[in-house]
Amino acid sequence: MVRFGTKAALAVMLTFVLSDAAFAQRPLDEIVARVGNDIILKSEFDKERTALRDSLTQQGLQGAQLEQAFQTRSKDILRDLIDTSLLVQQAKDMGISGDLEVVKREEELRQEHNRTDPKNPINTIEDLEKAISQQMSLEDFKLSVKSKYLSTQVLNREVYGRVQQNITTEELRTYYDSHKKDFDRPAGVHIREIMVNTEGMGPAEAQAQRKKIDDAVAAIKKGEDFADIASKYSESDTAQSGGDLGFFEKGQLQKELEDVIATLDKGQVSDVIKTSFGFMVIKLEDKHTGGVLPFESAQNEAYGAMFNEKAIPKVREYLTKLREDGFVWIKEGYVDTGTTKAPR
């Protein structure tokens, strides 16, 4: 697990949060594009170019290989900035606000830091913001989190949800059958979880959470389906998929979890496990001895691959429509690769 115990490590953590374009307070600067009532400045464009080169360098690319990758990917920088601007404006038109998401993301980062480095806790949001400010503009951070959230919400409503509705089990099985070589794996396990959080809670609240997961276990012992109970009780992101964590090769999980799983037979459920962030229960869906995963264990991965195949072109279609329905002006000398129209 990645540890975030130092300022440098916090900077790495923030890199993942700020993967989308950041919208900083804008000085007087050259305008390279107008998108509806928004503008994109040359300083923003140049900052994204610098961030891309730094990212490619950190991936180990250098010399001619670095230059080739940079030239290929930098062509889409303006497109991506325009995409984000269009989606943020669309979110506002749809009445979607991202203000609470900033607060939520800050709390998630604070808890993640405290889980991975409990000896150096960040006790308040104010302390977290001070740490962030030592690495970058706090406004950049907040506006980036907000724009990422707004963009995702629009795509969830307008694209992703519709794609999900059109993926049937039969279609998924067909995809699996025609891509079996992609699911060849070494020995490992397919597991599900139910997790409840106790981070930052007092003894009474923590005890209530323990009762919650005990109730979940009691329901499973009575014969209720684990996936249904996970959907009802679990506080993990996996709750919406019945607690399905997917397949893990040996060594990918924490040793404490691997030791628990090693005591289970296929279909068995563990006792309640106390963790640094709460309580959890594990179900061993399958033990894989090596070779092609069975459909049940490969289903999540196959779904993800199939979803991406269908969603990526649909996202592009939607963003093209937003361009056509709105106003996008590009300064001479710059190119929006997201449109086939001549710049206005």
Class of 7-165+310-330 in CATH: mainly alpha
Taking only the tens of pLDDT, the chain with its 344 residues reads: 333 334 444 443 444 444 444 444 444 579 999 999 999 999 999 999 999 999 999 999 999 999 999 999 999 999 999 999 999 999 999 999 888 899 989 988 888 888 778 788 888 999 999 999 998 889 989 999 999 999 999 999 999 999 998 899 999 999 999 999 999 989 899 999 999 998 878 899 999 999 999 999 999 999 999 999 999 999 988 898 899 998 898 888 888 889 999 999 999 999 999 988 899 999 999 988 889 988 988 888 899 999 999 999 999 999 999 999 999 999 999 999 998 665 45
Amino acid identity, residue 34?
A: R
Q: How many CB atoms sit inside 10 A of residue 170's CB?
A: 8
Q: DSSP per residue over 108-130, as a string?
A: HHHHHHHHH-TTS---SHHHHHH
Q: How many CB atoms sit inside 10 A of residue 302's CB?
A: 23
pTM: 0.70
Tokens coding 311: 């969603």
Q: How far apart are CA 117 and CA 135, in angstroms?
A: 19
CATH code that applies to domain 187-289: 3.10.50.40
Sequence-ordered list of residues with C-beta below 8 angstroms from that of 22, at least 6 positions apart, any chain: 44, 47, 140, 141, 143, 144, 147
Crossing angle of the two packed helices 77-93 and 42-58, in degrees rounded to 10: 120
Tokens coding 246: 């997917």
Tell which residue, 273, 133, 264, has the closest CA to residue 193. Answer: 273
Amino acid identity, residue 195?
A: M
Domain layout of the chain by residue ranges? 7-165+310-330, 187-289
Crossing angle of the two packed helices 7-17 and 125-133, in degrees rounded to 10: 90
